Structure 1
Amino acid sequence: MGRRHPGAPTLEEVAARAGVGRGTVSRVVNNAAGVKESTRRAVQRAIAELGYVPNLAARSLAGQRADAVALVMTEPRWRQFAEPFFSEIVHAIGDALAGTGPQLLLTLVRSDAERRRFLEYARGGRVDGVLLMSVHADDPLPDMLAEARLPTVLMGRRSGDERVSYVDADNAGGARSAVAHLLATGRRAIATITGPPDMYVAQCRLRGYREALASAGLDTRPSWVAEGDFTIEGGHRAMTRLLERHPEIDGVLAASDTTAEGALEALRAAGRRVPEDVAVIGFDDFPLAERTAPRLTTVRQPLEDIGRTMVQLLLQEIEEPSVAWRHVILRTELVVRESA
């Protein structure tokens, strides 16, 4: 745990810059009467110089709030609503928020310009807190929100040293359990298809794969690893590359269920039987895992629990703005079906 960093310019800092009292700044911000024009101009100049954004929710002496929470998707490449992961987590978060009061606002932030616009929107008091998903390692938005003192909770994390509140699944442990199952069923030439390498979730699943193979004294060379992007198309391409490099493959851990579906398609096209020739395990346990042929063995992420815990943490931070950031990691579960 740790404390939040100093945030955006405050009303007191504007007052000090303008050489006036806090109440005068408040009257200028609220366009109240009784302020000399020269004083008003001095305050407005200080606001511009400091980049101060009035918090609309904080203006009310009664402590009124925006009664809204933003769910921000930051993935620039995926077709968000075409991938099961996004619809599943939106559903889980929506259910968790139901009956709690705040309205859920769904927002896409995919560029620097959109990031700046959203930050100004959020700092203006239009939302009480932010839920972030699909954050890549180099994304500055979580830090920008924390510095602006906006309650923020991530789904997943950018690194092992994340300093913003997050809820994550035990991705490395889930991958280890999947590889252990493949080994227990006699597989020895086991490859993996990863997610995007700049996402910590993908790094953790790859690490778990490598740890399990290393513990068994088996090959973990780079040629057994193919990069994917959590999509069906990416899984198909990666599986095709793996078959070209290692036709002796008899087991595959895919970093997501959609990736696994693409791998199954590539194996069928190559004339490989699943699981007789090659066993396949996915990760997520989306409904599509029940519809693949054969049905997909996969590592289940507790998405409902993740969504519920994210909402709980965020509401707590909204109620107690000075609360330390918190990290929660939830267990995964291997679901065995016909593909492995």
Structure 2
Amino acid sequence: MGRQRPETPTLEEVAALAGVGRGTVSRVINNAAGVRESTRRAVQRAITELGYVPNLAARSLAGRRADAVALVMTETDWRMVGEPFFTEIVRAVGDALADMPATPVQLLLTLVRTDAERRRFVEYARGGRVDGVLMMSVHAEDPLPDMLAEAGLPTVMLGRRSGEESVTYVDADNTGGARGAVAYLLERGRSVVATITGPLDMYVAECRLRGYREALERAGVEVRSSLVVEGDFTQESGRRAMTGLIERHPELDAVFAASDSMAAGALTALLAAGRRVPQDVAVIGFDDFLLAEHTEPRLTTVRQPVEEIGRAMVRLLLEEMEDSAAAWRHVILRTELVVRDSA
């Protein structure tokens, strides 16, 4: 018999006594899958000891879900939506949701670019139409993640707005990946190494530029601002940047582009200028999407673990949906240099 208490015990008290989160207690009460047997027994012991009686009406209300997750793209430039990065992430997230053993969850794609669209989306999400939000392509000053957090909506970002990010996110080791790529070029005798960055109001682009600079500094090579050109992650921006670099620095013998699309654009510009790759100029990209296998020559690049990123984003979001009191978490996944023909 559980000990009697003068007041009605709460779900939070059961969770505290069992040493688990509130969401775990809910899963045990609802006999959901995915709970360890030892954890299930600990929760059941706490329920018995406290004399907790589940509120069936509250459980019914709490279980009223939309079974839908929004994947929000905050990119203001429509061209970016067609870039390989976006399509690969959408596929990875969709696959991760499809692999869920429990109730199927619908993935809703939406583009949010203006203050009015931000307000409308927050009201839409608060109205119970989605259970959680995944975000991608977030720029430094975007307030939407904070608006969602203030509204109590479970949110997980791909990447982060700054090094002080307070919202849950999943990211790749952008600095380490870029540093390793540029170090590889230097170790193979390249001496004038340029970089084509992404838009520098995005932390991902800042990190890849930092990795470039760190590799040069560690090798005792001067960091020259004229060898750094900002792109926007598109192929056309890579072509334009590479054309300008060749004109200013005909002695250039390597370039690190912060995306595969920009690296492909750089290859086009080098071909047009009569430069051989990699004999005259070595080229390395970042992403390792299908595009890298089909450039001429095939692209050496830094691989992001896209499938793992998608799974991690979905896992963290589902955990936040189950336990609204869960603390934000930051996950950074390793990258890998994939050597092909261009460097």
Q: Report if TM-score (shorter chain) is over 0.5.
A: yes
Superposed counterparts of 1:4-23, under 5 Å: none
Deviation of 1:133 (Å): 0.2
1:297 alignment partner AA:
T
1:96 positional shift: 0.3
Matches within 5 A, 1:313-332: 313-332=316-335
Q: Give me the whole-angstrom Cα distance separating, in 1, the residues matched to 2:247 and 2:200.
A: 22
Distance in 2, matches of 1:195 and 1:288, equals 18
Instruction: Name the CA distance, whole Å, in 1 between partners of 2:180 and 2:80.
Output: 28
Q: CA deviation at 1:92?
A: 0.2
Q: 1:50-81 deviations in whole A, cap 9, x for unaligned?
A: xxxxxxxx995353111110000010114244
After superposition, the CA RMSD in angstroms is 1.2
CA–CA distance in 1 between the matches of 2:310 and 2:220? 38
Contact in 1 for aligned 2:72/2:133 (Cα 8 Å): yes
* Match of residue 217, structure 1, among 220, 225, 230: 220
Decide whether the 8 Å contact of 2:71 with 2:108 is kept in 1.
yes
Whichever residue aligns with residue 69 of structure 1, its letter is V
Cα separation, partners in 2 of 1:281 and 1:62, compared to 1, 3 Å: closer
Partner secondary structure for residue 61 of structure 2: coil
Matched, 1:254 2:263: no
Question: How does the TM-score come out when normalised to structure 2?
Answer: 0.81
Say whether the 8 Å CA contact 2:284–2:342 is kept in structure 1. yes
* Alignment partners' CA distance in 1, 2:247 and 2:118: 41
Q: Is the 2:283–2:300 contact (alpha carbons within 8 Å) kept by the matching residues of 1?
A: yes
Look up the match of 1:74. 74
Q: Does 1:102 align with 2:105?
A: yes
Match for residue 248 of structure 2?
245
Matches within 5 A, 1:35-54: none
Report the number of matched residues.
Answer: 283
Letter aligned with residue 72 of structure 1: V
SS at match of 2:342: coil
The DSSP-based 3-state class of the residue aligned with 1:86 is helix
The letter for the 2-side match of 1:74 is: T
Give the aligned partner of residue 333 of structure 1: 336
Give yes or no for the alignment of 1:119 onto 2:122. Answer: yes
Q: Who is 2:148 aligned against?
A: 145
Deviations 1:90-133 (A, max 9, x none): 00000000143221111111111111110100011111100000
Name 1:208's counterpart in structure 2.
Answer: 211
Q: Deviations over 1:228-248 (max 9, x none)?
A: 000010001111111122111
Identity of aligned residues (%): 76
> Which runs of structure 1 show a deviation greater than 3 angstroms over 4 or more consecutive aligned residues?
none
TM-score after normalising by structure 1: 0.82
Structure 1: unaligned runs, 5 residues or longer: 1-57
Q: Residues of 1 paired with 2:61 and 2:296: CA distance?
A: 60
Code of the residue aligned with 1:173 in structure 2: it is G
